[in-house]
Homo-oligomer: A and B are copies of this chain.
Amino acid sequence: MSAKLIAVLPGDGIGPEIMAEAVKVLQALDLDLQLETAPVGGAAYEASGHPLPDTTLNLAKKADAVLFGAVGDWKYDKLERALRPEQAILGLRKHLGLFANFRPALCYEQLTHASSLKPELVAGLDILILRELTGDIYFGTPRGRRTAVDGHFPGAEEAFDTMRYSRPEIERIAHLAFQAARKRRGKVTSVDKANVLETSQLWKDVVTEVHQQYADVQLDHMYVDNAAMQLVKAPKAFDVIVTGNLFGDILSDEAAMLTGSIGMLPSASLDKNGKGLYEPSHGSAPDIAGKGVANPLATILSAAMMLRYTLNQPAQADRIEAAVQAVLAQGLRTGDIWSEGTTKVGTREMGDAVVGMI
């Protein structure tokens, strides 16, 4: 088997620091990987005037998998939207066809107390949020500014966007949700706003149809406002949540924060062949960038997800995950998950500790 090519895109803020640790961990495994690094986000904009340069996009296309750090910084807020760091991640999703975003919200036993929620509500929490990632109002056209011809203020300036989903887009993500649930606790909650939106009504109809092929899986439908509430009230009642791009953006972040340790949560964004982009669920945290205090574990666990989902190396993924468990058991903590009685370590020490356990 020839070497697998991994596109390594560290990005902005804490991206380079946390990526360095994930790379170290990958290199500690005996795998035939070829890691190639390229700039993305603000870093790429600084270097070449675009957040997703062609060379970076081409590397990502050519690669077997993409390992992504984080992008964004307040200092790019004034740029026109097309040049802002976030466009890189939207562009990668679109051009690589990464329609299925898997975001586990997992509460580690040792970190239960870090949650805002009472321990009994989150102990053992294990939700999988499956977010559609290449459709919805994120990419729908037409969109822009114009003069309103109707509505409350005809003649006024207005801005607009288009939410849309087609039947096959919903079908393919629904299949993945039911398949994922089969390997878990057998329950899917499909989240929509079908009491208001046409797009949601089609979503609900199609998910219900696809469900007929998965009679062994339980399907519930929930409105997005209610889902935002139930996540706070009784998060452990969920198993797999499947939803559109916009609702998934909101709910996956809410669910991640419920665990209290978003610095621990990896994510995978897959195309129809299982090729994927792997990234931590947290952002670029420009406020702590360069200080060596960021938590690299979400990125390290993203590398593990990459081994499992795209590179078909489950045993190696297990090794990384077991090593992370072991350093937690040892009491090592970066600042974001530190608590009385545990040992505070920096980004590099944490990465070294994981390597040491492998």
Contacts and interface: CB of A to CB of B under 8 A. Distances in A.
A158 B150 contact: no
A176 interface: no
Contact of A157 (B116, B151, B202, B254): B202
A23 interface: no
A116 B253 contact: no
A140 B160 contact: yes
B232 A198 contact: no
Interface string A141-166: 10111001011110011111111111
Given A118-B116, A196-B90, A250-B224, A163 B137 contact: yes
Interface of A: 81, 84, 86, 90, 99, 116-118, 121, 134-135, 137-141, 143-145, 148, 150-153, 156-169, 193, 195-199, 201-203, 224-226, 228-233, 246-247, 249-254, 256-258, 262
- Those 10 A-B pairs whose CB atoms lie nearest each other, nearest first: A159-B202, A158-B166, A229-B257, A160-B164, A228-B254, A225-B253, A156-B166, A161-B163, A159-B198, A232-B257
A274 to B, nearest CB: 18
Contact of A135 (B141, B150, B152, B193): B152
